[in-house]
Amino acid sequence: MTPIKLFQGYSSTTGACHSTAVTGESKIEGVQSEVTYTLCKGVKSLMTTIDVKQSLDINVKLGSINEKLKFLMKLNTTETTLAIVVHARKVEGREAQTSARLASDIVVPISDIRDFFFHHGDAYVSSITTGGEYIAVLSFHTETESERYILELELKGNGLFTFGSVNFGLQAKVNRVVESFKTKISFNQMILGHENSYELPKFEEIIEFARKFPSMKLSAPKILAFETTGYEHVVGVDNSFNPIASNNPTKEFVIPPLPSLSMGTPKIQYKIDYSQEFGTQDKTESKSTFDLFTSVDEYIKNKTRIVGIQLRTLSRLSNITVDFVSSMGRRTEIYGIEEGACSRLALEDQDFIKKIVVKSNRDVDGLGIYLDLNSNRWLFAKGDDDSDNGTEHTFELCDGKFVLGFRGFHSFKKFDTIQVIYAAFQPAKWRNGSTDVVNP
């Protein structure tokens, strides 16, 4: 990894360091520290807050800056994402140019601009900041501008504004918002200036950690940020350099017209449905209910799917265990008692439940899960008591429909009723202001 230094050549296109073509004078600024929080809307706001001026599309050949870029990519931020960024920074020094000129070994006028670019890049390093920093990002992945606006109002209602200092009360404010706002939330953090093995704080400790960070001794100070200046600003570089300067990816990009968004923002639509209820409810017995662990909106928004089903049986079906995976992680739901003979079916990424068979009369005696209609991959579990002569009921799902989960009632060692919850996607609805347009 090439060490970076002031006036070193740099390619804004590739992120690589090049030979030096500029010399000059500089000044050094001393130790600084700050601990703040900022509400960021979209990627550009995030990059400004954590002081990243390089494009996300290039691979910067400098470890610490590359770490920041990779961290930003991991956040999966969109233009409707709202993030609370807690940023603690300890600057041990900043060196910045005060004047610049072409080095004595550079012949002017520059006769071969392509060759100059190949050896020296299109810019030079004009400032370097070293030290350490801690960055914690709590992202609210809202899907529309309207959702984000509602979240902003809730944040303000809890005393969280666009920018502020970090005090002990901030943790409680953040916790309240996380608990109350029902949307996809992710939390990521990183540290620079300490060894890679340094233990990061738990979510409930981030404010305390950030406040202490500036007083910590840095075990491995790093370059936190650097700025570049194009060679077109150096005396002696004439207009022949303009074609290279105009292609600098760090220049402000003007967004072209996007006709595909003329109808507004697309919003996923779906229809939820239920199978018939299999089994019967005995009103004389106490029962427990089971259902989806979350709302259908959250289930679909978080890309939830079933990855495993386990069935247990005694005299009848006694237990259903369903494993879910989503963008929020893994979750296991257990219905009934964990006793009896056990069988399990794993679902891969492309697997969908196509058929469900329920053997029932008074109670649910058996349950079958089929991943294809040819019965090549299936799971069927039934109890060892057939005294009630239960009937097999078949429920098939046609293409486009998918199983969300199950609901029903269970009592001691048996299931009274079971019902399949399923859904199908509908044509998208495009929101343009207050008007909804279906599948424009």
Please give the span between the terminal C-alpha atoms of the chain, in angstroms, as a whole number.
Answer: 51
Residue 82, token pair as written in the block: 């709202």
Helix pair angle (169-180, 145-157), 10° resolution: 140
Decide if 365 contacts 383 (C-beta within 8 A). Answer: yes
E strands along 198-340, which residues? 222-230, 265-274, 278-279, 288-290, 305-313, 317-326, 329-336
Provide the H-helix boundaries in 257-376: 296-301
At residue 278, φ and ψ (nearest 5 deg) are -95, 135
Q: What is the pLDDT of residue 255?
A: 59
Q: What is the pLDDT of residue 434?
A: 46
Residue 319, token pair as written in the block: 């237990």
Q: What is the pLDDT of residue 146?
A: 78
Q: What is the pLDDT of residue 69?
A: 82
Q: Which helix (H) or strand (E) holds 243?
A: helix 242-246
Please give the average pLDDT of every successive group of 10 residues along the chain, which has 440 residues. 76 85 91 90 86 57 68 85 92 92 87 89 91 92 82 85 84 84 84 83 92 91 88 84 75 61 72 92 75 87 92 91 89 91 91 92 89 82 72 91 93 89 88 52
Residue 350, token pair as written in the block: 């492309």
Sequence-distant (≥ 6) Cβ neighbours of residue 111 within 8 angstroms = none
Evaluate the CA torsion angle 155, 161, 163, 168 in order and state its sign. negative
Decide if 8 contacts 18 (C-beta within 8 A). Answer: yes
Q: Is the pTM of this model over 0.85?
A: no
Residues in the chain: 440
Q: What is the pLDDT of residue 379?
A: 92
Helix (H, G, I), strand (E, B) or coil at 382: strand
Q: What is the pLDDT of residue 181?
A: 75
Decide if 237 contacts 401 (C-beta within 8 A). Answer: no
Phi-psi region of 121 (alpha: psi -120 to 50; beta: other; left: phi over 0): left
Sequence-distant (≥ 6) Cβ neighbours of residue 44 within 8 angstroms = none
User: CA 46, CA 41: separation in Å to the nearest integer?
Assistant: 7
Domains and CATH numbers, the chain: 8-246 (no CATH), 269-429 (2.100.10.30)
